[in-house]
Structure 1
Amino acid sequence: MKLSPDKWIKFEQQRRDIMARYAQDNHAAAACEAMRRLAAKAAMLPGVQADLMKLAWAVCEFSTALTAADRLLALAPAQPAAVQAAADLFLLCGQPDKARASWLRLEKSPQNQAAWLGLASLAERAGRMDEAAEWSAKALANNPRDAQSRIRAGCIARRQGRMSEAAAHLEPCSAPGVPPAIRASALYELGELHDKANDPASAVAAWREAKRCMEQAWPSQVTLARRVRAKAIDQNRRLVSDLTPESIRRWRSQPPATDIPPVVILAGHPRSGTTLLEQVLAAHPDILDIDEKDAMACALRETLFPAAPGGPEITALENASGSSLAAVRKDYLRRLAMLGSNPGPSSVILDKNPNFTDLLPFLLRPFPGLRLVIARRDPRDVLLSCYRLPVVPESGNVGWLREADAVADYVSMMSVWERLRDCLGDETGWMEIRYEDLCHDLEHHAACVTRFTGLEWHPAQAVWQDTGKDRHVASPSYEAVRTPVHTGSIGKWQRYADHLPELFRHFK
């Protein structure tokens, strides 16, 4: 159905108003519902479908997000931005083949430059480096001056060990005067080149300038992310104060829920080794891996705290009824089913998500039988790894733009776990695993964690990189898990101690 110009303008303004309110209050569920109602009237507007897709993903309504992505592609099949948004959503939902098909369709249009870059990115992320280089070469041959093509070619060349070629692609894209978002991408990659060349001073200079460019490129997004981050840190401060051993032990002593399979949470600060351990565990045929989806958090918030966009309070959980707690568990399984993740009779659900680390106390109320695996690593190596990671700013990573903020985020998140650990005491439902131990003897320590989940070690786990070679890795650390396990990153912070003192001085 075609829309009249007047209705088109009216609906477009409504779309903008919804997203403007969301930027102010960060209440994704309310924004998603408003956008869903608008989409029922204005299904022909690509912007409405794109925003509905984004908002539905934010609240883990995966079916709605996937449907919006399909409609967006139908409305704008030859628009690179639309294909990019839909392909990214398919990838997030664990459908890399569908993402690839979206780019392949675009390749047949005049917008094939964007398609080649999208296909190169997919192949690079999956570790198919020769294929990635082929797609990248097509894009570069078609337009040698295109900055995105040069950055992608530089990234692939770096990963393949062709450092001089990588630098030749990246350096022109990092020059002053280049748009800040493009310049930031090039500078982050150049920082990695300097790191490989054992030049920490130049690496830090590149990363610092990249972060400055990120703030220039996304000022409103950074402002919103910092506002949400400040609330999260304040909430964590209250949480550490309010947590008591009596409450946690009382919740844990409740009869185990019979309406859900066993669930293991794999958490810890980002860049602590969660993705490496996840890949080994996920190779077990009885482990159902939920890779960095917020389904459990959304089920908790939208069922028990729908009117608290700022976040729940731990004291409010005391009066939750048994039926409402059962509703959280039911809603969690509903959200997993949208992803095709249906546990079998012998399945153990592995829900790996570093973002759950400071949410764990809340999850123990509706999920009293949760088993907790927390990855630990020298915080100085963690912070260095976060600092050099190129990510679009959001509340969970905006702290990495500033050294002092990165330290504050680490302390805030891990103080919640350490207080919860004290409250749990010597019960057997939690364990910590050190990244350094995994690097030195992966199979032994991964086998210990496997037994902790209630399963026995499976031969497929010994060849986890072959077993999971086609598995999509949602984490930004996807590059690291495609390479052999090594000890080279242990203690790496020491090379940067003189260049990033504010990042390390808090820790001994």
Structure 2
Amino acid sequence: MGSGPDRDIRQKIQALLASGRAAEALPLLKAQVRETPDDVLAWANLIRVCEQLNQVAQAAEFVQEAHARGLAHPLIQLAEASVLRRQGELVEAQKKVAECLALNDAPPWFRASSHYEAARIFDAAGQWQKAYEAARDANGYAKPLWPSAWFDDALWRWLEALKRYQPKPNATDDNAPVFLVGYPRSGTTLVHQMLDAHERFQVIDEWPIMEKLAAEVASNWGDLLSPLTDTKAAELRARYWQLAPTSSAIVVDKLPLNLLFWPLIRRLFPNAKIVIVRRHPLDAALSAFMQEFRPHPTLVPFLDMADSIRYWLKLNELVTHIEVTDTGYVRVVEYEALVTEPRSTLTSLMAFLGEPFDERQLKFYVHARGQQQINTPSYHQVVRPIYRSSIGRWRNYASCLPGASIETLKQLIGERWDLSLTSSPDSAVGADND
């Protein structure tokens, strides 16, 4: 592992990567592979970070340099598979990931990551059954790595309790951020980039500020409904602005599952506007099920497809409750409308936020390409123009989905959402634009 300064640098790199700060880790990784050119972990991390920062060409160059140095290691092979997938070299990507999958004695975390990558490759290749099975197996390997205490019913109980919360009217004019929330993989990143392309907005990209504040006042979910004095609310509000970036623009706090902190948001910022992005239940649930998330207690349902669907239903019940009880402060943006009618949908959203529509918002992908880092699973999708292939994507996987969950959806929301197996004319091979 090394000692002294070398060990300190390694620890700093790992800390940055663990906290999602890949852009800050990049120069350190570049320096590390020059100082220790045989360090396979450093090379693998360097390749993965470049890919995550949408520097695919440079990632490919580092792959070739690692090969030239004779570095053949599963970590580098797995990173190379990701790069090949991004380059559209799906046959070669499958070969690389197959070598990783064949390592039966590999640790569970590596087997999980290999299967997640295999799922992405098979999905891109239109091999739906293999993609679903790879994602299912990936979640199976990942589950034992998540703390067992997270697998109780506390989250489900909290979702029921949230539907009993009634916000109290408040006429204060405190400076407040806009909160951008929703079920993960439902289009929040697309809305984020559209808003961030407007000069009047600055988006905070998935900083867990509300989660940190919640931890200061509650030891469990239920405590978040306990009375909060005006003094404590003012203290937490000040703490929020200490943690948030200083800006003359309107701050947009984007973190999908901040939706779970709605009571705290409303207590700290009574007049804050909340934008909720909603997507077809099966498209959203499937995308979340197939995603390689960092472990977090609010993401546990995504390890199982049936639970992922159940989670969408419970969160949608909450959204319906919020729409009724928080009138005037909440706008639900339907992902499908945003993708098929972006101008009118975005113009309506901007009117809700009190700012004029800007043509540059429709070219959000130009703005996104100029960003140093995008802290979201869809980092590689929002640098492209809007496309419709993610609408109805679930139909490709219809034979794999749990039948009982589909029947439940039909009974509860069948009149609102199209759950037929007839393919959409816009559906095609392709990943989510969310």
Q: How many residue pairs get matched?
A: 405
Indicate which of 2, 7, 14 corresponds to 1:85.
14
Indicate which of 159, 165, 168 corresponds to 1:243.
165
**Residue 384 of structure 2 is aligned to residue 458 of structure 1:** no
Distance 1:75 1:123 in 2: 22
- What do the CA deviations read for 1:46-81 (whole angstroms, capped 9, x no partner)? 9xxxxxxxxxxxxxxxxxxxxxxxxx99572453xx
Do 1:127 and 1:479's aligned partners in 2 also have CA atoms closer than 8 Å? Answer: yes
**Residue 169 of structure 2 is aligned to residue 234 of structure 1:** no
Aligned to 1:135: 62
Shift, 1:365, TM fit:
1.5
Aligned to 1:61: none
- What do the CA deviations read for 1:194-224 (whole angstroms, capped 9, x no partner)? 22332222222222222222235x1xx2413
Indicate which of 396, 408, 415 corresponds to 2:310.
408
Indicate which of 341, 352, 375 corresponds to 1:474.
375
Distance 1:500 1:133, change over 3 A: same
Shift, 1:459, TM fit:
4.2
Distance 1:73 1:273 in 2: 44
**Residue 82 of structure 2 is aligned to residue 155 of structure 1:** yes
Amino acid in the other structure paired with 1:441: E
* 2:203 counterpart SS class: strand
**Residue 231 of structure 2 is aligned to residue 323 of structure 1:** yes
Amino acid in the other structure paired with 1:202: K
Aligned to 1:186: 114
Indicate which of 250, 263, 279 corresponds to 1:348.
250
* 1:88 counterpart SS class: helix
Amino acid in the other structure paired with 2:196: A
Distance 2:281 2:243 in 1: 33
Shift, 1:314, TM fit:
5.5
Once the two structures are overlaid, the 10-residue window that deviates more, 360-369 or 378-387, is: 360-369
Output aligned runs, 1:199-348, within 5 Å.
199-216=127-144, 218=145, 221-227=146-152, 230-240=153-163, 242-244=164-166, 248=167, 251=168, 253-258=169-174, 260=175, 262-302=176-216, 305=217, 308-313=218-223, 315-317=225-227, 320-336=228-244, 341-344=245-248, 347-348=249-250
Shift, 1:432, TM fit:
0.8
Shift, 1:119, TM fit:
2.5
Amino acid in the other structure paired with 2:54: G
Output aligned runs, 1:475-490, within 5 Å.
475-490=376-391
Amino acid in the other structure paired with 1:125: Q
Do 2:185 and 2:284's aligned partners in 1 also have CA atoms closer than 8 Å? Answer: yes
Distance 1:365 1:388, change over 3 A: same
Do 2:90 and 2:125's aligned partners in 1 also have CA atoms closer than 8 Å? Answer: no
Distance 2:4 2:401 in 1: 45
Identity of aligned residues (%): 24
Amino acid in the other structure paired with 1:119: L
Aligned to 2:421: none
**Residue 334 of structure 2 is aligned to residue 428 of structure 1:** no
* 1:284 counterpart SS class: coil
- What do the CA deviations read for 1:259-289 (whole angstroms, capped 9, x no partner)? x2x4211111001100011011011122121
**Residue 293 of structure 2 is aligned to residue 371 of structure 1:** no
Do 2:278 and 2:334's aligned partners in 1 also have CA atoms closer than 8 Å? Answer: yes
Indicate which of 92, 102, 113 corresponds to 1:165.
92
Distance 1:131 1:429 in 2: 44
* 1:375 counterpart SS class: strand
Aligned to 1:397: 299
Distance 2:203 2:298 in 1: 22
TM-score normalised by structure 1 residue count: 0.74
- For structure 1, the residue ranges without an aligned partner over 5 or more in a row are 1-45, 47-71
Aligned to 1:101: 27
* 2:399 counterpart SS class: coil
**Residue 313 of structure 2 is aligned to residue 382 of structure 1:** no
* 1:428 counterpart SS class: coil
Distance 1:284 1:506, change over 3 A: same
Indicate which of 125, 149, 167 corresponds to 1:197.
125
- What do the CA deviations read for 1:395-416 (whole angstroms, capped 9, x no partner)? 1222222222222322333322
Shift, 1:180, TM fit:
2.4
Distance 2:363 2:271 in 1: 30
* 1:290 counterpart SS class: strand
**Residue 47 of structure 2 is aligned to residue 120 of structure 1:** yes
- What do the CA deviations read for 1:210-268 (whole angstroms, capped 9, x no partner)? 2222235x1xx2413324xx21221221232x324xxx2xx2x312243x2x4211111
Aligned to 2:7: 76
Aligned to 2:426: none
Aligned to 1:492: 393
Distance 1:505 1:296, change over 3 A: same
Distance 1:264 1:453 in 2: 8
Shift, 1:91, TM fit:
4.2
Shift, 1:454, TM fit:
1.8
- What do the CA deviations read for 1:426-478 (whole angstroms, capped 9, x no partner)? x3221111111111132332232223222112343233222232322111221
**Residue 48 of structure 2 is aligned to residue 146 of structure 1:** no
Distance 1:469 1:362 in 2: 34
Distance 1:170 1:226, change over 3 A: same
Distance 2:283 2:250 in 1: 31
Amino acid in the other structure paired with 1:405: D
Do 2:40 and 2:71's aligned partners in 1 also have CA atoms closer than 8 Å? Answer: no
Aligned to 2:418: none
Amino acid in the other structure paired with 1:133: A
Shift, 1:122, TM fit:
2.2
Distance 1:89 1:193 in 2: 24
* 2:356 counterpart SS class: coil
Distance 1:90 1:420, change over 3 A: closer
Distance 1:283 1:357 in 2: 24
Do 2:26 and 2:50's aligned partners in 1 also have CA atoms closer than 8 Å? Answer: no
Distance 1:433 1:197 in 2: 31
Distance 1:170 1:315 in 2: 47
Once the two structures are overlaid, the 10-residue window that deviates more, 115-124 or 347-356, is: 115-124
Do 2:179 and 2:254's aligned partners in 1 also have CA atoms closer than 8 Å? Answer: yes
Amino acid in the other structure paired with 2:17: D
Do 2:193 and 2:367's aligned partners in 1 also have CA atoms closer than 8 Å? Answer: no
Do 1:147 and 1:173's aligned partners in 2 also have CA atoms closer than 8 Å? Answer: yes
Distance 1:168 1:315, change over 3 A: closer
Distance 1:205 1:191 in 2: 8
Distance 1:479 1:505, change over 3 A: farther
Distance 1:112 1:288, change over 3 A: same
* 1:447 counterpart SS class: helix
TM-score normalised by structure 2 residue count: 0.86
